Amino acid sequence: MPGSEAIRELVAACVGKVGGPLVALRKIVSAHGHIDDEHVGIVADVFNLSLADVRGIVSFYSDFRTTPRGRRHIRICQAEACQAVGSRRLTREVAEALGVELGATSEDLGVSLEAVYCLGLCASGPCATVDERVVVRVTREELLR
Ligand code: FES
């Protein structure tokens, strides 16, 4: 993971770009895996924003993680069409089998389980992503492999 100076350089390279703070935060997530308080401070400093401004951006977008992600990352769609074909039940079963609550990462960072709200494949639900790979008509067994 990059250190503070590397993060500062990464953020500084985004100054002057359209949506600079958003671009910088996305780059932090790509490089570091999540955004911590130090990163918020760096973005605020480099873009001359308040900490509250940057925290507001981070909290608005679900892709801006503030906690470490598991080595295996599962997101199950919780939007209406997937709910109608059992995504909530599937989520409960997977959470129970993995021993991880929705929105949490296991203590050993082995797996994280999160909600996602519509992947644009509503006719093929329930849908999920596993390590960024989209899975349609997903089953409990597929998610627990
Ligand atoms: S509701 Fe799940 S993919 Fe659209």
Q: Are residues 93 and 133 in the same domain?
A: yes
Q: Which atom of ligand 1 is nearest to the CA of 79?
A: 1
Q: Are residues 132 and 81 in the same domain?
A: yes
Gyration radius (Cα) of the chain, Å: 17
Residue 31 domain-assigned? Answer: yes
CA 16 to chain CA mean position, Å: 26
Amino acid identity at 108: D
How far apart are the CA of 82 and the centre of ligand 1, in A? Answer: 5
Q: Is 135 in the pocket of ligand 1 (CB under 6 A)?
A: no
pLDDT-based confidence at residue 57 (cuts at 50, 70, 90): very high
Residue 132 domain-assigned? Answer: yes
User: What pLDDT, on the 0 to 100 scale, is given for residue 33?
Assistant: 85
pLDDT(1) > 80: no
What CA–CA distances, in Å, run from 13 to 17, 58, 108?
Answer: 9, 19, 34
What is the tally of structural domains in the chain? 2
Q: Are residues 76 and 138 in the same domain?
A: yes
Residue 17 domain-assigned? Answer: yes
Q: Are residues 80 and 134 in the same domain?
A: yes
**Choice between 76 and 62, residue whose per-residue pLDDT is larger:** 76
pTM of the model: 0.75
Q: At what angle do helices 20-32 and 51-60 cross, to 10 degrees?
A: 70
User: What pLDDT, on the 0 to 100 scale, is given for residue 68?
Assistant: 87
Q: Are residues 101 and 139 in the same domain?
A: yes
Q: Are residues 50 and 80 in the same domain?
A: no
pLDDT-based confidence at residue 132 (cuts at 50, 70, 90): confident
pLDDT-based confidence at residue 58 (cuts at 50, 70, 90): very high
User: What pLDDT, on the 0 to 100 scale, is given for residue 65?
Assistant: 87
Q: Is 81 in the pocket of ligand 1 (CB under 6 A)?
A: yes
How far apart are the CA of 77 and the centre of ligand 1, in A? Answer: 6
Q: What is the pLDDT of residues 77-110, one digit of tens each?
A: 999 999 999 999 999 999 999 999 998 999 999 9
| Alpha carbons 98 and 29: distance in angstroms, whole number | 25
Output the domain CATH number for residue 96: 3.40.30.10
Domain residues for 131? 72-143
Residue 100 domain-assigned? Answer: yes
Residue 65 domain-assigned? Answer: no
Residue 99 domain-assigned? Answer: yes
Residue 34 domain-assigned? Answer: yes
How far apart are the CA of 85 and the centre of ligand 1, in A? Answer: 10
Burial profile 63-79: b = 16 or more Cβ within 10 angstroms, e = fewer? ebbeeebbebbbbbbbb
